[in-house]
Amino acid sequence: MTKLTERLKAIAGEIRKGETAADIGTDHGYLPLYLYEKKISPKVIMTDLSPHSLNKAKTNFALIFPGRVFDLRVGDGLDVLAHGEVDNIVAAGMGGLLIKDMLDWDIGKTRSFRRLILQPRNNVGRLMRWLDLNGFDVTKYQIVKEAERYCEIITASPGTKNVSEISEAEYDFPDLLMQTGGPLTTEYLRFHLNRESVILNKTACGRTSENDGDDPVKSIRFRRIERIRELLAETEL
């Protein structure tokens, strides 16, 4: 039986029994293997830009399911999928801007899938902003840890909600984090509070007030710190 990391386990938990999925950038194919072994999904399309990477998944599947044929596709992002071909799109372990660009390439196709399960390695706030501005409802924002690294897992579906103006810091650390983040939420916030504070204190002159100068980078750091403190205060109520 395939054993998943906490990150992949949390992603698998977002796919409901009987639903189909596409694992974009599948690499070794561990998530699809798990979904088949657990009989969660009747169909999982595995895609990768690299034929070499896709061969790793093919080899792993041949060991567990000898003789069976599975759907492996070489291609870029959602290009290899038809509109609405699967229920769930999984894009995990790649940069947030890369995921954003992939989803943005054909909005009509992106909105044809029931659910997006996204795990960006960076630029989480910018991806969250894109989802908001393009009418996707983020229904869950989970925090898991893998090899001492915190991972944000975003679940979103096409919606029609009105977009409200919120700050960049609120996209980086959304309200939903407090509702669905899980048991690591406080630890995650404290980690980022320390990280942002250290970076801010290392900037020129070590000034830490939002009113100090016109440095936009420093101002962004300051607002993130204020946002994190605001959310941490909620945990103490």
Q: 209 and 173 share a domain?
A: no
Last residue of a domain, one of 141, 160, 179: 179
pLDDT for residue 208: 47
Do the domain assignments include residue 42? yes
Q: CB under 8 Å to 67, separation ≥6 — which residues?
A: none
Angle at 170 between CA 11 and CA 145, to 5 degrees: 30
- Measured CA to CA, the distance from residue 200 to residue 101 in angstroms comes to 30
Q: In terms of domains, do 205 and 91 share one?
A: no
- 128 domain residue, yes or no: yes
- Tell me: pLDDT of 201 over 90: no
Q: pLDDT, tens digit, for every residue of 84-123?
A: 999 999 999 999 999 999 999 999 999 999 999 999 999 9
* Residue entry with tokens 């840890």: 145
Round the average pLDDT of the chain to a whole number and report it: 92
Same domain, 76 and 126: yes
Euclidean distance between CA atoms 25 and 89, whole angstroms: 11
Q: 6-36 burial string, b = 16+ CB within 10 Å, else e?
A: ebbebbbebbeeebbbbbbbbbebbbbbbbb
Same domain, 79 and 21: yes
Q: Distance of alpha carbon 133 from its chain centroid, rounded?
A: 17
Structurally, how many domains does the chain consist of? 2
Instruction: Place 164 in a pLDDT band, splitting at 50, 70 and 90.
Output: confident
Whether residues 60 and 102 fall in one domain: yes
What CATH number is associated with residue 87? 3.40.50.150
Which pLDDT score, from 0 to 100, does residue 56 have?
A: 94
Co-location of 46 and 119 in the same domain: yes
The predicted structure's pLDDT at residue 205: 53
Domain contains 204:
yes
Between CA 65 and CA 68 the distance in angstroms is 6
State the Cα–Cα distance between residues 96 and 172, nearest whole angstrom.
12
Q: CA dist 24 to 47, 68, 161, 187, 218, Å? A: 5, 21, 27, 30, 36
215 and 161 in a common domain: no
Residue 171's domain comprises 6-179
Over the stretch 67-82, which tens digit does the pLDDT of each residue have?
899 999 999 999 999 9
pTM of the model: 0.92
Q: What kind and span of H or E run contains 24? A: strand 21-24
Residue finishing a domain among 179, 203, 222: 179
